[in-house]
Structure 1
Amino acid sequence: MTGLVVAVDGGGTKTDAVALTMDGQIVARRRGPGSSPHFEGLARSLAIVDALVREVSGGAPIGHVDLYLSGLDLPVEIDRYRAAVESLPWAQQGLVIDNDLFALLRSGTNEPDAVAVVCGSGVNAVGVRADGAAVRFPSLGPLSGDWGGGSGLGPEALWFAARDVDGRGEPTTLTAAICAALGVGSVAELIEQLHFGERDDADLYALAPVVFAEAAAGDAVARALVQRQADEVVAFVRAIVARLDLAALSFPIVLGGSILQGGHPMLDDRVAAGIAAIAPHARIVRPDAAPILGAAIAAGLHAGAPPDAIARLRREFARQRVAVMPRG
């Protein structure tokens, strides 16, 4: 293959792009706004990605591109994105498009048998096996059986606080903590603001740290929510291990997202215990590098880069970890 290899990792709030040579040398890195088609729409997402690909390539020929974007959860969503991007000049050679979970996966491991779970604003997982088999989930929220992340913990915390206030539920310190975190005088005031559209429902996602803080302080309701979150993470792993028949193997489980990398001992211990019961030889990996490293590694592998180039790429990212340049 001739030309640069370009990788893009796009989420709801930011998009990272990198261009590299086939020997693993980083040519350019840039960061732009979020490019999830779920939030931005297809046209806006494509415009952001196109600008970043052109910027990191600097006009040089491009031989291969890997795009990993949140919001590409269903096969039809990937197909639609591919149809939209294929007419662009840089998409005429090698092109891989998939969910951003694959970038997280490869940021933590090169191994052919592997699992990745992300828990941040939402929760999702993916598993791969050496023979090419893969397990993924629709990740459509309650519609597809998902619960967790900020979008699960925040509304659930408010549910318990509302029942605390009106006497239907047990007392919880979450009630006062929610009011303090969102700057409201009462839970009733918050509910009214949400009901009349004066406050966005997404504001509740910011309550996840409140739940963990109150759980650490001993609140029973918050502790139960943290335990439920841990069990949801383990449920993803259980399903993947069973469907890919990985239980007897040694393989990495890459954990990412603000919640799973937030250093919450109660959550982490319960997740680790649950995973050990399912796959005793599995290893938990929490990568230090951003998912764009995984996107770059995957792109290099897809383009045919040799193993020493992948090793060099990891070293290059370690040296440049703080050098992600925002777009002007």
Structure 2
Amino acid sequence: MAYYLGIDGGGSKTYALLTNESGHVLGKGKSGNGNHQINAAQAANNIRSAAADALAQAGLRQEDVNHAYFGLAGADREADYQILHPMIRALGFNHYSINCDTIIGLRAGTNHSYGVALICGTGTNSAGRNPQGVHYQCGGFDYMYGDFGGGGALNIEVFRSVIRAWDGREQPTLLTGLLLDMLGYKDVETLFNDFQDHGRSVPVHAAKLLFEAAALNDAVALEILRHQGEELGKSASAVVHRLGMENDTFDVVLAGSLLTRGDRGWIRGPIEQAVKVAAPLASIVTLSTEPVVGAVWSAMEEDGLTISTETYERMRSYQEYDQIKQTTR
């Protein structure tokens, strides 16, 4: 019997999933930050903890795992891999692969080993793999390096739109009342002064107010969401062209909370338009299973397995990580 371990290490949570070669789930683990760029020592400890929990549930040892695949936020450049490979080896893993977490999101969303993934959660990222196995990542390095959006930036767009409407630089917006209610202020002047005087930060979840306002046809919210979609569409097109996939048939997988929850086409619409131009044979799909599942499938493929239809169907049935239950080996 062969065993495979998938790790999804993000900035706030790290998930581990352990299966046999048929995709039966044997163990799972969950811990905190797995991004070495935030805190390398903390990331290493959390990856170790999540993996250990999954192994313990399965009653297996680390050396029993045929291959482990690590999809890690922060695995972006060669400088990152020079840190990550020693870190993973120090945890006792010998048969393993590392890639950015965008790639495991891609793998979880398609039955192909290639395609394009767009992530829009706290931040944004895009990456792809062509049929020849060549990877390319576009973005994921913050606004200064060309990115736009994600919850960690759209929350600021909400806040500044409210300020601009208040001081006369922007048209009135429903975001004003929604933000005041969320943060508990009586008016924008009080909000402005309190944030200025005490150096307060806008909570990331303020980004969700864009969807509430857009549903009520608020022009300001609709424009921000349209801009987000256009930027992601540009990223998808850049990946397609860099990998020479213009004439290929593949999936563009949408992942991240801002793309999989709340959006009614405000972001997706511009993405679809851009992809149709860049790669007419591509299909847009929304990720419906956890990215850690893609890490397991990638581990299987790195070990030389061809994933069966039955394995795909079995593992796609797990819609939420917290609902994954241990099954009999």
Q: TM-score, normalising length from structure 2?
A: 0.89
Question: Judging changes above 3 Å, is the alpha-carbon distance between structure 1 residues 170 and 78 closer, same or farther for their aligned structure 2 residues?
Answer: same
Residue 52 in 1 paired to residue 61 in 2? Answer: no
- Contact 1:5-1:303 at 8 Å conserved across structures: no
- C-alpha distance in structure 2 between counterparts of 1:218 and 1:105, whole Å: 32
Deviation string 1:36-82 (CA, Å, 9 cap, x unpaired) is: 2233x010111111122122123422232111122222221122021
Corresponding residue for residue 265 of structure 1: 265
Matched residue SS, 2:34: coil
CA displacement at 1:272 relative to structure 2: 1.8
Residue 218 in 1 paired to residue 217 in 2? Answer: yes
- C-alpha distance in structure 1 between counterparts of 2:191 and 2:76, whole Å: 32
- C-alpha distance in structure 2 between counterparts of 1:237 and 1:97, whole Å: 22
CA displacement at 1:4 relative to structure 2: 2.7
Identify unmatched segments of 5+ residues in structure 2. none
- Contact 1:30-1:324 at 8 Å conserved across structures: no
Give runs of aligned pairs for residues 158-173 of structure 1, distance below 5 A.
Answer: 158-173=159-174
Deviation string 1:148-175 (CA, Å, 9 cap, x unpaired) is: 1112211112222112111233222222
Question: Judging changes above 3 Å, is the alpha-carbon distance between structure 1 residues 53 and 198 closer, same or farther for their aligned structure 2 residues?
Answer: same
CA displacement at 1:287 relative to structure 2: 2.4
Give runs of aligned pairs for residues 92-107 of structure 1, distance below 5 A.
Answer: 92=94, 94-107=95-108
Deviation string 1:216-262 (CA, Å, 9 cap, x unpaired) is: 21222111111101101101111111112222222110001111112
What's the % identity of the aligned pairs? 25
- C-alpha distance in structure 1 between counterparts of 2:324 and 2:194, whole Å: 38
Corresponding residue for residue 242 of structure 2: 243
- Contact 2:72-2:101 at 8 Å conserved across structures: yes
Corresponding residue for residue 156 of structure 1: 157
CA displacement at 1:138 relative to structure 2: 4.4
Residue 129 in 1 paired to residue 130 in 2? Answer: yes
Kindly tell me the number of residue pairs found equivalent between the two proteins: 318
- C-alpha distance in structure 1 between counterparts of 2:14 and 2:156, whole Å: 27
- Contact 1:74-1:138 at 8 Å conserved across structures: no
Question: Judging changes above 3 Å, is the alpha-carbon distance between structure 1 residues 76 and 190 closer, same or farther for their aligned structure 2 residues?
Answer: farther
- C-alpha distance in structure 1 between counterparts of 2:139 and 2:236, whole Å: 15
Question: Judging changes above 3 Å, is the alpha-carbon distance between structure 1 residues 216 and 325 closer, same or farther for their aligned structure 2 residues?
Answer: same
Corresponding residue for residue 293 of structure 2: 293
Matched residue SS, 2:37: helix
Which of 88, 91, 104 matches 2:91?
88
Matched residue SS, 1:265: coil
- C-alpha distance in structure 2 between counterparts of 1:207 and 1:124, whole Å: 20
Letter in 1 for 2:233: V
Residue 176 in 1 paired to residue 174 in 2? Answer: no
Residue 71 in 1 paired to residue 69 in 2? Answer: no
- C-alpha distance in structure 2 between counterparts of 1:18 and 1:28, whole Å: 6
RMSD of the alignment, in Å? 2.2
Q: TM-score, normalising length from structure 1?
A: 0.89
CA displacement at 1:278 relative to structure 2: 2.4
Letter in 2 for 1:285: V
Letter in 2 for 1:250: T
- C-alpha distance in structure 1 between counterparts of 2:31 and 2:312, whole Å: 22
- Contact 1:26-1:313 at 8 Å conserved across structures: no
Deviation string 1:163-215 (CA, Å, 9 cap, x unpaired) is: 211123322222222111222223333344444555334x1x21222112212
Question: Judging changes above 3 Å, is the alpha-carbon distance between structure 1 residues 36 and 183 closer, same or farther for their aligned structure 2 residues?
Answer: farther
- C-alpha distance in structure 1 between counterparts of 2:100 and 2:272, whole Å: 25
- C-alpha distance in structure 2 between counterparts of 1:37 and 1:191, whole Å: 35
CA displacement at 1:319 relative to structure 2: 4.4
- Contact 1:30-1:325 at 8 Å conserved across structures: no
Question: Judging changes above 3 Å, is the alpha-carbon distance between structure 1 residues 111 and 154 closer, same or farther for their aligned structure 2 residues?
Answer: same
- Contact 2:297-2:307 at 8 Å conserved across structures: no
Identify unmatched segments of 5+ residues in structure 1. none
